[in-house]
Amino acid sequence: MRNYSNKKLFGAFLVLGAMFFSANAAAQETQVLVNTGNTDGKLGALSRPASVNKLETETADDFVLDQTTVLSGATITGLVTTSLANISNVEIEIYHRFPEDSIADRTPQVPTRQNSPSDVEIDSATRDGNSHTLRFSAALLNPTFTALKTVVNSISVAQGEPAVTGAEVEITVTFTSPIVLPAGHYFFRPEVQVNGGDFLFLSAPKPIVAPGQAIAGDLQAWIRNSKLSPDWLRIGADIIGGNPAPAFNMTFTLSGAKLESAGTPGAEDCHDVTISGLAHQFGSIPSAVSALGFSSVKSLQNSFAAFCGAE
């Protein structure tokens, strides 16, 4: 009886151990951290880089991180006015919220700067397909989709434009160099290069509904072109207008992993605390490299050195 009981007990420990390690492994996997839900088709807002006879135009929407996070990828839902095959590049920028990274005392050319993206992006968080810091693929969701209102050429007050029909697409982005951000309120700005056409970032419901996940203090989407820069306009309140004026979210997700223990940027022990926390959370630094999507241990170390050196 004793041997049999011991065998049963040992077997139970094995099962519990397997369950623990399985749960721990699952907890370490990257997951969707920001999700604004499915598009509602109410708005398509231009977001493209500059090219011949075309101004750079940027559309941005906000998200919140409640702790230090490594972002490994994103999805963007939009409308293209030509073939899917003509999508040639994607660039992602992330902005703080005004007044960070901004000249707060200059005279703006917009109704308000409150709750807008900052004047300039976070340099360390920019990722570009042309620079090989991200890769992307595009999938067709609907060959004929209509955005009921658009903001394309008239980036100025009370200048909303009519409906546009095109192909609804979802672009999946993987950051080959993951983005490390401390807790904070940010803006996500994708630009999509479409040869012979344009990309209109599609709106999502505001307030966010399932399958989206509510964002604390959710703000509305903003837009600017190179003539308006560094200022931004609220797409709903300033450009579309009306009484009451609408407010829009944009359709995107962000994936990654929250760090259980990270140092404080600028602190002397930031790097040591963060690397130790990564080793504990993921089992080892090589395991953290694999789970978070870094290309090497050196790449991870460099990213967190830059994170810890941030002011």
Tens place of pLDDT per residue across the chain (311 aa): 444 344 433 344 333 343 444 344 434 578 999 999 999 999 999 999 999 989 999 999 999 999 999 999 999 999 999 999 999 999 999 999 999 999 999 999 999 999 999 999 999 999 999 999 999 999 999 999 999 999 998 898 887 899 999 999 999 999 999 999 999 999 999 999 999 999 999 999 999 999 999 999 999 999 999 999 999 999 999 999 999 999 999 999 999 999 999 999 999 999 999 999 999 999 999 999 999 999 999 999 999 999 998 64
What SS3 class is residue 4?
A: helix
Assess whether the previous peptide bond of 211 is cis (omega < 30° from 0): yes
Among 66, 111, 74, 69, residue whose Cα is nearest residue 91? 74
Per-residue model confidence (pLDDT) at position 17 = 41
Positive or negative CA dihedral for 106, 110, 112, 116?
Answer: negative
Per-residue model confidence (pLDDT) at position 310 = 60
The set of residues, in sequence order, having a beta carbon less than 8 Å from that of 279 and lying 6+ positions away, is 285, 288
Assess whether the previous peptide bond of 99 is cis (omega < 30° from 0): yes
C-alpha distances (whole Å) from 67 to each of 134, 192, 215, 310 are 23, 29, 14, 16
The set of residues, in sequence order, having a beta carbon less than 8 Å from that of 268 and lying 6+ positions away, is none
Spatial separation of the C-alpha atoms in residues 173 and 127, rounded to whole Å? 10
Spatial separation of the C-alpha atoms in residues 79 and 98, rounded to whole Å? 29
Are 200 and 166 a contacting pair, CB within 8 Å?
A: yes
> At 52, phi and psi to the nearest 5?
-55, 120
Per-residue model confidence (pLDDT) at position 28 = 55
Q: Residue 105: how many CB atoms within 10 A of its CB?
A: 6
Per-residue model confidence (pLDDT) at position 46 = 97
Are 286 and 274 a contacting pair, CB within 8 Å?
A: no
